[in-house]
Amino acid sequence: MNRTSRISRVRTSLTVLAGATVAAGLLVTTVAPASADKGTSSQGPKPTVVLVHGAFADATSWNGVIKKLRHDGYPVVAVANPLRSLSGDSAYLKDVLAGIDGPVVLAGHSYGGSVISNAATGDKNVKALVYLAAFLPEKGESAIDLSGKFPGSTLGDALRSVPFTNADGSQGTDLYIQDDKFRHQFAADVPRDRTDLMAVTQRPVTNAALAEGAAEPAWKTIPSWALVATQDLNIPRRAQEFMAERAHAHVTEVRSSHAVSVSQPGKVTDVIEDAARSAR
């Protein structure tokens, strides 16, 4: 065999070996991610967490919670709750939920609890409800009914009423917490420089929204979690416990003012993620 023939055969062998190595590499590359994908799909995607603020707050009250949820890989939607009427606010939230694909964990603070209870009824995508220092009304109950069911709420004396005219010409009343009473009433465990801003930017709720009776509640058919704020001056602790027990919710207590999403974002996130893990 001449030298040229030997070189040709060596090159051929190396080419075959290289091809086999590449093929083996492709096989490993293909098989390994397939196994990983199978593990991920068995759990499913993380649910979208939808956050609904209550009266005297806005969507920025969730900022600390949003930061933690997003860090942990959860898609998040913070809804701008209109605070105009329970039925209207619930219809608005229903439309928001209709635009979200996949499973949802729905969390509400304060009056936002009444809204999520209404809006989630019959929605198969909502897998868990989370109530954070919130109302869990039975059909026909209002926020005003429930806040006065047990002693302890001092909200009434802290409110300021502002009349307004509806588009149809009828009269309504907006309710604000007085600026000088805001921190003590709403967020006593939040630094004063922050509560000063919260008082100025608070969103009013109508008296009609707080007085409107609830529809059939979603907590009767959807698993629920409740975080009870033990230092709450808006919704007394006993009222929160009563509603959570009635709904057979998973209950956690935290030493907090009513503004629990602001003062205790870590605790709030823990409860939401506990609910989310069960929903996957």
- pLDDT value of residue 27: 31
SS3 state at 190: coil
Say what the pTM is.
Answer: 0.85
Spatial separation of the C-alpha atoms in residues 27 and 167, rounded to whole Å: 67
pLDDT tens profile 133-169: 999 999 999 999 999 999 999 999 999 999 999 999 9
Length of the chain: 280
- DSSP letters, 221-269, are TS-EEEEEETT-SSS-HHHHHHHHHHTT-EEEEE---S-HHHH-HHHHH
Q: Which of 40-54, 124-138, 206-220 has the least mean pLDDT?
A: 40-54
CB distance 243 to 251 below 8 Å: no
SS3 state at 143: helix
DSSP state of 84: S
Q: In what order do the strands lie in the sheet with 159-165?
A: 159-165, 171-177, 205-206
pLDDT tens profile 96-121: 999 999 999 999 999 999 999 999 99
- pLDDT value of residue 278: 87
Model confidence band, residue 45 (pLDDT cutoffs 50, 70, 90): confident
Query: Cβ neighbours of residue 129 under 8 Å, at least 6 residues apart?
Result: 105, 106, 107, 108, 116, 117, 120, 218, 219, 222, 223, 224, 225, 275
